[in-house]
Amino acid sequence: MQRYLPFLDWGRSYDRETLGADLVAALIVTVMLIPQSFAYALLAGLPPVLGLYASMAPLVLYALFGTSRTLAVGPVAISSLMTAAACGALFAQGTPEYAGAAVALAALSGVMLLGMGALRLGVLANFLSHPVISGFITASALLIAAGQLRHLLGVQAGGSTAPELVPALLAALPGTSLTTLALGALTIAFLLWARRGLAPALRRLGLAERGATALARTGPVIAVALTTLATWALGLDVAVVGEVPRGLPALALPPLDPALLTQIAVPALLISVVGYVETVSIAQTLAARRRERIDPDQELIALGAANLGSAVSGAFPVSGGFARSVVNFDAGARTPAAGLFTAAGMAAATLLLTPLIRHLPQATLAATIIVAVLGLVDLRALTRVWAYSRADFAAQAGTILVTLLAGVEAGLITGVGLSVALQLWRSSRPHVAVVGQVPGCEHFRNVARHEVVTAPHVLSLRVDESLSFPNARFLEDYVYDAVAADPRIRHVVLVCPAVNAVDASALESLEAIIHRLSDAGVTLHLSEVKGPVMDGLRRAGLPEHLTGEVFLSQYDAFRTLAPEAAAEAMARPRLAEATQARRGTGRAAG
Amino acid sequence: MQRYLPFLDWGRSYDRETLGADLVAALIVTVMLIPQSFAYALLAGLPPVLGLYASMAPLVLYALFGTSRTLAVGPVAISSLMTAAACGALFAQGTPEYAGAAVALAALSGVMLLGMGALRLGVLANFLSHPVISGFITASALLIAAGQLRHLLGVQAGGSTAPELVPALLAALPGTSLTTLALGALTIAFLLWARRGLAPALRRLGLAERGATALARTGPVIAVALTTLATWALGLDVAVVGEVPRGLPALALPPLDPALLTQIAVPALLISVVGYVETVSIAQTLAARRRERIDPDQELIALGAANLGSAVSGAFPVSGGFARSVVNFDAGARTPAAGLFTAAGMAAATLLLTPLIRHLPQATLAATIIVAVLGLVDLRALTRVWAYSRADFAAQAGTILVTLLAGVEAGLITGVGLSVALQLWRSSRPHVAVVGQVPGCEHFRNVARHEVVTAPHVLSLRVDESLSFPNARFLEDYVYDAVAADPRIRHVVLVCPAVNAVDASALESLEAIIHRLSDAGVTLHLSEVKGPVMDGLRRAGLPEHLTGEVFLSQYDAFRTLAPEAAAEAMARPRLAEATQARRGTGRAAG
């Protein structure tokens, strides 16, 4: 029971001190969340009030079901962009159908996450490799920033990919509203300064360290207040948020049109997985700092409940937000109750503040978004990944390019496809070494790297990879080629210390190798097969097919098949290199 | 040059004796191929003469480009079924558009194979695991046999999946033509007897062993001749092949309508890959018997050329045929010239025999097909695979079910998707063992299986799998959970003898683990890292991030981090079990 309702655990020991800490953290997060929730609603192409709605019920539900003590959920940049892309592909922004599609996305995403949680399928998130998710976030952040430029310039220029956005922006450039641009530029400058300079400035004014850090987070709220005031007082001619309905959301079942659900199934899945990966990664990072544990499968349930909460509030998909979770953690939140108090704070804001934001300029929100997402752009990751692995680089660069050129869904699918294909490609070309005996000891090493003893009629091959369908055929080809190339070979020994598994394809390949070698008058032996692998091979009856033997160690194999060579190798003095090899006895390295 | 034109190699040493052997083999294969080519054209839903056309140019081109000395290409059952499914989904059988689509399939498949060959992408065939291909062949054979029943019954009953075929056959049953059924049943009985009983019968009649075996292959030709004769002489009321145009195919560029090519792209890719996998597998089997080599990438080029040859002859996709290749091999074919002679034989047959087959009953061809494909059904594979691996069984059973219920393309795609997903699933849950020192020696084994020495402040984890994106998060979770569960832990050592690679995702996970453990006051060390893996980690700067050390052996690590425990373990007497462990020093097994 406690596993599915974690609040039963932390709720029991809740005391006054914890309450105080949670309340302070909730206050700071609320102040930060108000402008963010407006901004991300705008980014999703929805009325600003929906950002507030997405910041109440989801927080309450996550507090009840989540296992992270400090994660803060709500509207976030990437999910909002993906929502805009999915809904924009079906309906025009501003129509009730568009808003309905966003609600349906949240609902379907919630159901999918709950389903995966019930089946404990958190492992599905593994399909998104680090380079792909990092490339996707970078490209999405660039798309988001480019998409917000129109609000900074005060022009109309739509589009969800670079080839749509760039020409539209260039064409609209002559119509730039200088007032809007000046307001937006000033806001960006202020926000950038506030990030670095506000806390030191506050400390110089005499504030205590912790208070200064906390107050420095209020930069966006100050920007919102000042620009709204300026627009109202000076009657500036800029696009504003306009009338915002007052009051709490009326909870309602989301519309469930089967045709619509089919159309949004893929985007909903992608939003779910991306949101989940981000959520778990943030939760893990924060939990580790206090040596707490999170349960990745329960996080699926919590995030699913949060999204259903957003759907019944009439809002859009939510997930864990990195910046606000860190703020929550730093501000001293101790339990998910801080999330409950934040939700209460947002409810109060909805009731009290909505009349005040009528004159809030859209340029201010665009500036907030741009400053927030530019921190997500990590182009240096490309050089880092390039230096480490060409295959990972290909997946990352492919994800970035396709996301920018063809949109978020195509980019993400490309990234997943590429990383899976490259993973199979990699395991399809395993490292195989011909090994020989190191003089003076029982160890065997790569003939290409070491001075070792071999016998012409015995070929010992060490395969440094599990045997499975991506490399089954490679092994067949490799063994035949080696045997066809040297007519002296009478015995082939597969040395298997690095073989962690053998699947049914590789099993059939082994049988094919045995029979085909036998046709060519060559015997196949195995050595150093791991216990669990040998159990499986035995169950499949491989030892009966085997023309040769299964040796416990490669030395046993060599001693049996080439006794003279083995004895001669043993009699030779041990080399310095061999001594070093001896030190790392367990290593199967070259 | 010889690599791309293998005949430059075997052509040089061609002599009279080889010529004699090749001619005999070609004669036997020609006699076998004539009824097969009619039958597979019928199976593909095309006029029988196209089967002859598909057995000339493709054989010549394969002889020029192929690296197998004995492989026989031409129309085969599975490719013909896939052709019928692809063309039948677009056009009605018997229309010129249907025939045009078959030609386009052969052309596109040829271009795809040539492209893969040029890029040396033979490795792509790895995506088809053994259980998937075997399940696919079984299901296809069942579909083929069910589809041919209508010709045996002499009724109309179309369909390309079990849910279409079974009700259609049941509904058509009352209209069965008893003459047709009797003829078909007799033919099946004769063919089944000919397979087993004809050779012994011929030997009893005094024929030499080799002659009897060769003549026994003529069962289908005898059946064709006898039933045609009977139909003509007795004026039987059965469906016959009818008028067949005489003469060789007029070579022509295939029609290349871009819209059509888009529609057939996926089927063409599937036909290419399935045909290629079968071809290479047959070629490998036969080459191994004579210790010859084939070049899998060159086989792509040869098969591509063969398919283009079929397309310009106006025919349909071809690939290597198992039965006829074995016959060719057994009959003593020595070089691909046997294929050239077979093509000449088929040309002669086209010129001379076409007037004679006008009265050939369709039921005879259906009987030939049914007898041929029932040999491909291998339902026992299901039990074998089930016993060996549940994941492989799931992929195989999924392939069979979806192929039967939804058709060949859906079945194949499901199979590939399932095996890839299950491969990732498997590598996402690697075997991780907590290890301790075996008393009296320097070896470390699983604490769950052996009596070993550990220290409470040192956690040594051996991961039996390469670290990559499918398991990166698993490792993070595993390490955090272990550390969070035991507050005494100060050091974590990852023991890496079975880690053959670390991709960029796993690298980031390692960095995350280092930082998060460091936040929790725990140091991370590595031991027994393979040379190439360590090179990569060094290039990525991991050692600088590492809070602990990289030890050459796990014993070095334990001796450094827990000197008392290591010394105590060393001082204890070696157990019998430990001695055994010592024998298999290279083994990293449990």
Q: In this predicted structure, what is the pLDDT of residue A578?
A: 39
Residue of chain B whose Cα is closest to the Cα of A133? B505
The verdict on B293 and B154 lying in the same domain is: yes
The verdict on B220 and B357 lying in the same domain is: yes
End position of a domain, from candidates A367, A385, A420: A420
Backbone angles phi, psi at B237, to 5 degrees: -90, 75
**With 80 as the cut, is the pLDDT of residue B324 above it?**
yes
What are B559-571's pLDDT values in tens digits?
999 999 999 988 8
The verdict on A373 and A437 lying in the same domain is: no
Where are the extended beta strands (E) located within A68-133?
73-74
Inter-chain residue contact A588 with B429, CB threshold 8 Å: no
Rounded to a whole number, what is the largest CA-CA distance in chain B? 99
The tokens describing B123, both together, are 């490795």
Residue of chain B whose Cα is closest to the Cα of A528? B587
Q: A221 CB contacts (<8 Å, ≥6 apart)?
A: A31, A32, A34, A35
The tokens describing B10, both together, are 């075997």
Residue A384 lies in a domain: yes
Q: In this predicted structure, what is the pLDDT of residue A215?
A: 76
Chain A residues with CB-CB distance to B485 below 8 A: 293
Inter-chain residue contact B473 with A588, CB threshold 8 Å: no
The verdict on B320 and B398 lying in the same domain is: yes
**With 90 as the cut, is the pLDDT of residue A424 above it?**
no
User: Can you spell out the DSSP letters for A408-437?
Assistant: HHHHHHHHHHHHHHHHHHHHHS--EEEEEE
Q: In this predicted structure, what is the pLDDT of residue A126?
A: 76
Backbone angles phi, psi at A522, to 5 degrees: -120, 140
Using alpha carbons, select from B41, B74, B16 the residue that is nearest to residue B343: B74
Domain count, chain A: 2
The verdict on B406 and B463 lying in the same domain is: no
The verdict on B578 and B464 lying in the same domain is: yes
The verdict on B408 and B514 lying in the same domain is: no
The verdict on B109 and B236 lying in the same domain is: yes
End position of a domain, from candidates B420, B449, B482: B420
The verdict on B364 and B319 lying in the same domain is: yes
Using DSSP's 3-state secondary structure scheme, residue A463 falls into strand
Rounded to a whole number, what is the largest CA-CA distance in chain A? 99
Interface test with A, best of B385, B388, B390, B413 (most A CBs within 10 A): B388
Backbone angles phi, psi at A528, to 5 degrees: 55, 40
Inter-chain residue contact B480 with A293, CB threshold 8 Å: yes
Residue A8 lies in a domain: no
Q: In this predicted structure, what is the pLDDT of residue B588?
A: 38
Average pLDDT score over residue span A172-184: 93
Chain B residues with CB-CB distance to A539 below 8 A: 387-388
Q: Are B409 and B266 in contact (CB under 8 A)?
A: yes
**With 80 as the cut, is the pLDDT of residue A581 above it?**
no
What are A267-313's pLDDT values in tens digits?
999 999 999 988 988 888 888 777 777 888 899 999 999 999 999 99
Interface test with A, best of B282, B285, B378, B389 (most A CBs within 10 A): B389
Q: Are A232 and A249 in contact (CB under 8 A)?
A: no
Using DSSP's 3-state secondary structure scheme, residue B388 falls into helix
What is this structure's pTM?
Answer: 0.77
Average pLDDT score over residue span A183-191: 94
**With 80 as the cut, is the pLDDT of residue A1 above it?**
no
What are B42-70's pLDDT values in tens digits?
999 999 899 999 999 999 999 999 999 99
Q: Which helix (H) or strand (E) holds A525?
A: strand A523-527
What are B372-400's pLDDT values in tens digits?
888 888 888 899 899 888 889 999 999 99
Chain A residues with CB-CB distance to B444 below 8 A: 586
Chain A residues with CB-CB distance to B418 below 8 A: none
The verdict on B90 and B171 lying in the same domain is: yes
Q: What is the CATH number of the domain that holds B482?
A: 3.30.750.24
| Structural domain containing residue A507 | 432-583
Number of A/B CB contacts below 8 angstroms equals 263
Average pLDDT score over residue span B105-123: 92
Using DSSP's 3-state secondary structure scheme, residue A140 falls into helix
Q: In this predicted structure, what is the pLDDT of residue A87?
A: 94
Spatial distance between the Cα atoms of A190 and A222, rounded to a whole number of angstroms: 10
The tokens describing A199, both together, are 């806390």
Spatial distance between the Cα atoms of A269 and A5, rounded to a whole number of angstroms: 25
Q: In this predicted structure, what is the pLDDT of residue A585?
A: 36
What are B486-524's pLDDT values in tens digits?
989 999 999 998 888 899 889 988 998 998 899 889 999
Inter-chain residue contact A481 with B442, CB threshold 8 Å: no
Inter-chain residue contact A466 with B471, CB threshold 8 Å: no
Average pLDDT score over residue span B355-367: 89
Q: In this predicted structure, what is the pLDDT of residue A22?
A: 92
Chain B residues with CB-CB distance to A125 below 8 A: 473
Chain B residues with CB-CB distance to A556 below 8 A: 583
Distance from CA of B294 to the nearest CA of A (A): 9
**With 80 as the cut, is the pLDDT of residue A259 above it?**
yes
A329-A27-A216 Cα angle (round to 5): 70
Residue A426 lies in a domain: no
Name which of B470, B495, B587 is nearest A497 (Cβ-Cβ). Answer: B587
Using DSSP's 3-state secondary structure scheme, residue B240 falls into strand
ipTM (interface pTM) = 0.76
Q: In this predicted structure, what is the pLDDT of residue A589?
A: 40
What are B435-485's pLDDT values in tens digits?
999 888 887 888 887 889 999 999 999 988 889 888 888 888 889 888 888
End position of a domain, from candidates B398, B420, B442: B420
Average pLDDT score over residue span A509-515: 90
Chain A residues with CB-CB distance to B442 below 8 A: 585
The verdict on A382 and A444 lying in the same domain is: no
